[in-house]
Amino acid sequence: MPKQAKSSKTTKNTGKPKSTKAKSAKSTRPKKLSFWSKLWRVILSIAIPLGGGALIAFFTRDAMAKFGSFNLPPLAPPAWLFPVAWTALYVLMGFACALIWLQYHSARKKADRQMARSALIIYTIQLIFNFAWTPFFFILELFWFSFGWLVIMWLLILAFVIKAHTISRSAFWMLLPYLIWCTFATYLNLGIAILN
């Protein structure tokens, strides 16, 4: 009789950790977002860079006329190309941000969520650098300071692109044109700083 009591006690004890483990596994399951929740995240992610870019363009509306008055380095594009290129890039980077944001919500592992979170933080910082560069360059005409600012921004974009590669391959490909364009913009900034 004592042996039977001991075995039933063992079964009872071993049963508890199993239920706790199942409970903890259930709690780590990510919450599924609805279609509308996903849609507003995509719209907001695209609207922020587009809206910020439009606001900066409004306050520096004479920038393209100023650009034409500078001594320009070789391969400098026509002034009309800049607003067209930046509009396309803002849409692409916004959509890439949305993909990473959605990945943050759908990630099962804590490490994956932390990776997506750090990528979004870097994205936010580089976007602030992006918006601030235009007044420094066109309004204040701090060409060398703008060049240093742009180099830091380029490094932030590179870090964001590298992180995006491990989180979402689609986001990575959407960000590549942004990195290439900013590389070219850094060259233009340096050339203008030297020639002016």
Cβ neighbour number for residue 175 with a 10 Å cutoff = 27
In a domain, 6, yes or no: no
Kindly give the confidence (pLDDT) of every residue in the chain, 196 residues in length, as a single tens digit, with 9 standing for 90 and above: 445 544 444 444 445 555 444 444 444 566 787 878 888 889 999 999 999 999 988 888 888 788 888 999 999 999 889 999 999 999 999 999 999 989 888 777 888 889 999 999 999 999 999 999 999 999 999 999 999 999 999 999 999 999 999 999 999 999 999 999 999 999 999 999 999 9
In a domain, 32, yes or no: no
The answer to whether the pTM exceeds 0.95 is no
Domain containing 91: what range?
Answer: 40-64+77-195
In a domain, 35, yes or no: no
In a domain, 182, yes or no: yes
In a domain, 111, yes or no: yes
In a domain, 19, yes or no: no
Cα 40 to Cα 33: distance, rounded to the nearest angstrom: 11
Q: Domain total for the chain?
A: 1
Burial of 81-114, coded b for 16+ CB within 10 Å and e otherwise, reads: ebeebbeebbebbbbbbbbbbbbbeebeeeebbe
In a domain, 91, yes or no: yes
